[in-house]
Each structure stands twice: as structure tokens, then as C-alpha cells.
Structure 1
């Protein structure tokens, strides 16, 4: 698994470009008697193992890298300038591939396992594309599971929730249309930049004053564009940003408020505003029973005292949410920190090889549990904690 991981890391491929990664995955699966279909969701791979009658489960790993220049200096550093596995997807792929090989030789389960190697998780929505390509019609699943390495959680620990794990991800663009003029004659203008400045501040009241405090959300303006000359008041300004929250109703409410506030601020300045809002990723919400399965599997690997099943959700986003919108399932974080925390999407990040065996073991225990042969010994502890 470490050899595979280093191969993936040295040859990172961006969204929907995961050709060599997919080829290696498919060849290993086939060599171990696992049925393989390629090109699912453009560059995705699904391997299927069937052994008798039983549950049908999906296990997902993401394969894509980031458009980032690596600043590490080791033998397996990226050989592709401007591309890097800075989110640990190389480790995710290696762990699930190792689990697939082990499960192909393991007889302690009965049912169907679909090993889902997904392209384009990083902002390109590969999970959605696989579903649109008939993922669950072609490879039926009763439940589906995902796992992500998580800096900030120590190595040897797992973290999960019954419910929200990660937020939705939406983007917006607001175009302010004013009237341009000479900078020395502002009275002849409708200043789009003054209007945009007021609007940026007003948008912060969406979370602080227009939503109930119980509805967690983040509205962030990330770009302001307007003007090209020192002595011209531009007629147009553009504001862009992101919205993150944990429910579809909150997404719709924020969309409505963006439109309402933009129109009101623009009108008060004599300008007009056009809002373009893109619903990108839904929130990642775990279902209850499948979360219990994941907790039991993690507890079997590291001990139940090292599984946090009431962790703080992240406001970052994950397109595994599309799969959870289609099927019940659960998404879990695996700790990777040694002595320091290097964040994801950092040019110095490298997946912790010491955790690879833990991750593969988690997948194996999860299959055994979901298919009726795993340990149920932590059931009482989980039930009591959830009730409390």
C-alpha cells in the first residue's frame, strides 16, 4: 500500500485527468479477481466483489490531486509541476485498494462490495458525475461509506457524528451596475465601488442578524473587482464569494437574503444589482444506523476510547454528500497527526504512511460488521452515548 501511495503521490492528476491512477487501480483489482468497470463518471473505477447473499455496500475513495506546486523534498515528491496530492487522496486510494485485495481473500463476509474510486472531488463534483452516470443503478448499494484523513486529529484516533460532518458549498456573484464618471466629478456618477463596499459589510448581517443562531452558516466575500484607471469611477463592480451551511432550507434562505440585501443596497445608491447563485455541494450528513456501523468498525481497530462520535463538524465541504443524498451512509475522519499538524491543501503536506494499515483495517472491519460477522461489542456504549 505504501508503494502504491508513493506512486500516486509522485504522479498526481487533476480532476477528470486521473488516467494513470485509474489504470493502476483497475489492474490491481483485476489481478485479485475483482470485477472491474472503468470510465464511470469519466475517469472513475468501480470494482465489485460478490460472495453469496447479503447486504450491498459501497466503499468510496477519491483519487484526484490539487493544482498546487509541492514544496517537499523526498523521493516520492510530485514529478508534475503545479500538481500535488496535498489532500491525502493518494492515501485514500491506496488504503481502499489494499482493503479490496485483503477482502478478496477473506471469507468472513457475505454480500456485495462495490469499491468506488471516484475522480474529481476537489470542487469539480466527481461524486455527482458518477451518480449521473448511473453509479447506483449499475452498482446497487444499500449503504455507502467514505473516509478522509484529518489533520488536527491525532494518529490512532477516528472522529465521526450522527448527522452533519461537513457543510454545503455554494458560490455567488453579484454584479453592481452604476454610472461611470471622471473621478474628479463623482456627482455625475453612480459609484459602483461605494455601493459594493456597503454591500460587502451588509452581507455579514445575514449570519449575525438574519439567521437563527442555531443555524450555523458562513458567508464569505472572497473577490471584489472593479475599475482599471486611477481617475475613473467604474460603472460596474463584481463581488464573488462562498456560502456554507448544514441544511437545504438554510441554503435557500441565504440565497433569498443575498438577493434581497443586494437589491436594497444597490437601490439606495441609485444602482442595480444582479445576483448569480450556484448550488454546488450539499452538506455531508451521516445517517444514524450507518454511523453506528462505522463507529463499531473504528472501535474494533483502535479501541472505542479512541473514537470521538460527537465531533465538531467542519465548515469545509465534500462531494461525498451527493452519494449520501442518494443512499444512507456515513463519512468518517481518520487522524493522521504525529507531533505537528500540517493542514490539508498545504504545499508541505504528505499523507502519513503510518496510518495506512489503520485505514485499510477500518474498511475490512466495516465490511465484516455490515455483513454480519464483525464485533458488536461497542453497541451498548454507542447507544448510551447517543441517548445521553
Structure 2
């Protein structure tokens, strides 16, 4: 375990952004090969896949970990803080990688299963759709998994506790960018121009009413404006201003409603000020939806292994590109408690190393049970 902790801290000190995880991929591939696990590289550019077969079983189960870091400064105080400016493992993907490596090593050494395990080390989860890139590169054509599973550390849960649920567990993630145009002039002569900042400010306020007034009150949804830009001088009304934000929903119907109403709102609010709006709306991750049978299989597997596991009461509005894998194959996404910990994406976040043995136990129990369970359902 000391070696795995040291590796996790090394990965934390040397984070790599999406599709740039060359050093991480090299380390993963080398360790897999050292333990007799067949290695495949190049899927999704920097992805690594390890294949381990024992016995005569025909079932194939996939276990996935993400490897990439975030484009943000590491403000932690630990000796192993990031050596790279504005690149930081603030979501625990360094820990996810090490937990899956630890599980692969344990399963290779013990060999107490019948079938094939596929260890999927995925790049570019943070907004760049590395899961889709691996699938488009032929992941499930080469390795036709009967089911796939993934873990994410969850600071809101006690250390080692696991939660999952049937149906949606993480939200779809959309991004919008709105540019307001047609103004510009002297700040002391506002009557001679159109005020892009005033229109943009009003639009921000109105967008924050959209979910509450466009969606059924029983339909979960979220819209957050996260950036507002415009202007270069204290005495100038800028010709353009812009806002950026995110929308989180759990159904395509809700996505349609929000996108359509957002476009209408941008058009009409800016038109009332004599301005124009350009709207770009990107649906980059679908909702992460667990197969009901696979979620129950995961709960049964962990319960039998003595791991504290329960149904999550509600989904989270965060997003996850494992959603693409769950669209391609039945499976389930699980949260594993990592408290005490800073929140995910916090600039001082550091993965809780005490979670590593719990994660390994969870993944190995899940793999063994899934290979022996009766499904598809």
C-alpha cells in the first residue's frame, strides 16, 4: 500500500490535462505489463486498456478510471503539490487511477475469478469527452464488455461508504455562450448609443428565473451564469459584452425546453435594448443513467463483501462523461466516500490516501461478483 500511496502522490505532483496524459499513461501501461496484464494503447489518444483473463468464462466486465487533471492552480500545502502552473488534480483522478491499478494488480496476483476483466484508463474526462473518444476509437468493438462500472470519490460521504442508484445519478451538462452586440460609445453620452452592459446584466437576472418558470416544478434542473465579460475602459460603453454559463438537467425534454427558452430570452431581452444576441449552446455530456439491474448488482456485490453500501436518495447535478459508456453498455456509476476532504474542484483539494484500500476492495468485489452473477437482465 505504501507504494500505491507514493504513486498517487507522484501523479498528483505531475498532473496532465485531457489528451496530454502521456506520462500517466506510460506509468499505467508499465505497471500493468509488470503484473502480466495485456496492454493496449492509443484508444482515445492517450487511453490505456488492460485485459486480464482467467479460466474459461465468456463474460467480460469493464472497470474504468479517469486520468486527467483540471486547468487550475494547485493551492495546497502538501509536499506533493503540482509542479505545473495552472494544472491540478483537484478532482481525485490521480486516486481513481491508483485504485484501479491496485485492483488490477490484486486480481492478477490472486486470479480467483473466471472470465475477462477490462481495466479502462480513460483520458480527458473534464469536459473533453474522453469516454466518447475511446468508444469512437473502437473500445467496445475490441473489448465487448457485458457491463461497465466506475467509481468517483465523494467528499460528502464517510470514508469508504458507497452509494449508487438506479436511473439518473449525474446530470447532463450543457454550456451556453451569449454575445450581445450593437452598442458602443462614450459613457458620458449613453443617449447616443446602446448599452451592452445594461442589457447583458438584465439578461443575467432573467436567466436565473428560467428554470423555475420553464420547467415543471418536479423536474430537476439548474442554470448558472459563471462568467460575464465586457469593456476595457472606465469611460466607454463597450460594443460587445458576453456571458457564459452551464445548464444541468436529467432528461432530453428538459434540455430542449431550457435551450429553446434561453434562445428566446436572449433574443427578446437584447432586442428591447435595441441590440442583437448571438447564442451558442453546446450539449457536451448527456445524463449519467445507471442500468437498474447493474446498480442493484453493484449493491448486492458490495453488501456481500461487507462494504457499507446504500441507495443514493437523489442524483447529483454534477456531470460525468462515463455517461457515454453507459449509453453503449449496461452498467453503473458509484460514489465512494472520501471524507475528510476538501470539496471536488477546490484549489486546495488533495485525494484522501486512506481511501485507496477501500477503493481497491470495492472494485475487486464488484469485478468478482459481476463475473459470476446471472445477467443480462
| Unaligned 5+ runs, structure 1 | 375-388
Could you tell me the TM-score, scaled by structure 1's length? 0.90
Where does residue 347 of structure 1 map in the other structure?
A: 347
Encode CA deviations 1:327-384: one digit per residue, 9 max, x unaligned: 111100111114xx4112223322222221111111111111111179xxxxxxxxxx
Where does residue 385 of structure 1 map in the other structure?
A: none
In the aligned structure 2, how far is the partner of 1:261 from the partner of 1:242?
A: 16
1:74 to partner: Cα distance: 3.8
Q: What does residue range 202-281 of structure 1 map to in structure 2 within 5 Å?
A: 202-281=206-285
1:137 aligns with one of 138, 141, 155: 141
In the aligned structure 2, how far is the partner of 1:82 from the partner of 1:372?
A: 45
1:58 aligns with one of 62, 69, 85: 62
1:233 to partner: Cα distance: 2.4
Q: What does residue range 1-388 of structure 1 map to in structure 2 within 5 Å?
A: 1-51=4-54, 52-303=56-307, 306-338=308-340, 341-372=341-372
Residue 42 of structure 2 aligns to a residue whose secondary structure is: strand
Could you tell me the TM-score, scaled by structure 2's length? 0.93
In the aligned structure 1, how far is the partner of 2:213 from the partner of 2:88?
A: 40
CA gap of 1:227–1:68, structure 2 versus 1, over 3 A, is closer
1:61 to partner: Cα distance: 0.3
1:259 to partner: Cα distance: 0.8
* Number of positions where the alignment pairs a residue of Structure 1 with one of Structure 2: 370
- Tell me which moved more, 328-337 or 156-165: 156-165
1:301 to partner: Cα distance: 3.8
In the aligned structure 1, how far is the partner of 2:17 from the partner of 2:193?
A: 45
1:108 to partner: Cα distance: 3.2
1:251 to partner: Cα distance: 1.3
CA gap of 1:346–1:179, structure 2 versus 1, over 3 A, is closer
In the aligned structure 1, how far is the partner of 2:22 from the partner of 2:198?
A: 48
1:50 to partner: Cα distance: 2.2
- Tell me which moved more, 104-113 or 132-141: 104-113
CA gap of 1:236–1:12, structure 2 versus 1, over 3 A, is closer
In the aligned structure 1, how far is the partner of 2:76 from the partner of 2:224?
A: 31
| Unaligned 5+ runs, structure 2 | none
- Tell me which moved more, 76-85 or 329-338: 76-85
In the aligned structure 2, how far is the partner of 1:336 from the partner of 1:310?
A: 16
Encode CA deviations 1:206-246: one digit per residue, 9 max, x unaligned: 11111101111111111222222333322322121111111
1:183 to partner: Cα distance: 2.4
In the aligned structure 2, how far is the partner of 1:176 from the partner of 1:81?
A: 33
CA gap of 1:271–1:148, structure 2 versus 1, over 3 A, is same
In the aligned structure 2, how far is the partner of 1:194 from the partner of 1:351?
A: 43
- Does structure 1 retain, via aligned residues, the 8 Å contact 2:77–2:348? no
